Amino acid sequence: MNKVVGIGIFGLLTAAAVKVFGMKTLSDKLVVTLTKPQIYKVDVSGITFRTNITLKNPTRFEMTITRPVINLLTNGKVLSSTTPEGKKYEIKPISSTVIDNIKLKLPITYLTGISLKDLLAAFKGGDAKQILSAIKVPLEVQYSLYANKFYYESTPEKILS
């Protein structure tokens, strides 16, 4: 009986190690890109940016993730956040997965020091990088999600100094 229990525990530990190794390999090789970034809406309360996130998995491993909660920060303080949702996405082997319709609003209170002329010129050009440069507010992005039932929270990453 003890041999059966020992073999069972060894099997579970081996399966767990393979799963963790697969997740690590996938996360190391996963290519994440923003697709179709755009200004979605401009009104008196601020500027809403919209984008899709494409996840390209070049590995033989798969993973299930929840829709990420994305925070837009300045100097460590949260400016805006996406709405948490329980939606799940399957990242299949050797394929691409799109997380669509990510919206973040930059409140007007953080846009007070910018030149309206520069912002309008950048907006007419439609280039998100020019728009962010015109804003002149230090911005960071941070996200959190569940990946195969494990919680993950990224460290803040500067997107505009």
- For residue range 95-148, list pLDDT tens digits in order: 999 988 889 888 877 766 666 677 667 666 666 666 666 666 777 888 888 888
pLDDT attached to residue 92: 93
pLDDT attached to residue 54: 87
DSSP assignment of 7-45 equals HHHHHHHHHHHHHHHHHHHHHHH-EEEEEEEEEEEEETT
pLDDT attached to residue 90: 92
Domain 30-160 bears CATH identifier 3.30.750.24: no
pLDDT attached to residue 31: 82
pLDDT attached to residue 15: 54
Q: What is the pTM of this model?
A: 0.68
- Local structure of 81: helix, strand or coil: strand
Query: Is residue 71 a contact partner of residue 78, using CB atoms and an 8 Å limit?
Result: yes
Give the mean pLDDT of the chain: 78
* Listed range (1-15, 37-51, 90-104, 120-134) with the worst mean pLDDT: 1-15
Mean of pLDDT values over 61-83:
87
Domain locations in the chain as residue ranges: 30-160
Query: Is residue 53 a contact partner of residue 102, using CB atoms and an 8 Å limit?
Result: yes
pLDDT attached to residue 37: 73
